[in-house]
Amino acid sequence: MVGTWPSITHRVLTQTLRKLERNGRVRRRVIGGSPPGVEYALTPPGRSLQKPFAALCDWTLAHIDTIHEHQEAYDREVVVIARRPD
């Protein structure tokens, strides 16, 4: 299913954004107010990743049927292994 993604927890999202900020890929700005907010923006190094990620996305979409076939075969194998008696 293209376009459906598992949920991400607030904790995981926060950890990921902090790592991206630490590595200089995003900039964090606190917005005053009630309630306060936070805005994230790509830095120049972060923007430099847009073309490589777009190429990876294009490749993935071009091969999505094969990817799904492999995922389904893998999932079937995992179920068979899980059902084997010890």
Residue 22 in contact with residue 1, Cβ under 8 Å? no
Q: Is pTM, for the whole model, over 0.85?
A: no
Here the tokens at position 2 are 């293209």
Sorted by where each begins, the domain ranges of the chain are 7-46, 49-86
Structural domain 7-46, CATH architecture: Orthogonal Bundle (1.10)
Rounded to whole angstroms, the Cα distance separating 9 from 30 reads 21
Phi and psi torsions of 3, nearest 5°? 95, -5
Q: Is the pLDDT of residue 1 over 50?
A: no
The number of angstroms, rounded, from the C-alpha of 79 to the middle of its chain's C-alpha atoms is 25
Per residue in 3-46, pLDDT (tens digit) is 566 788 989 999 999 999 999 999 999 999 999 999 999 999 99
Per residue in 59-74, pLDDT (tens digit) is 999 999 999 999 999 9
Rounded to whole angstroms, the Cα distance separating 46 from 7 reads 24
Task: Tell me which of 2 and 60 has the higher pLDDT.
Answer: 60
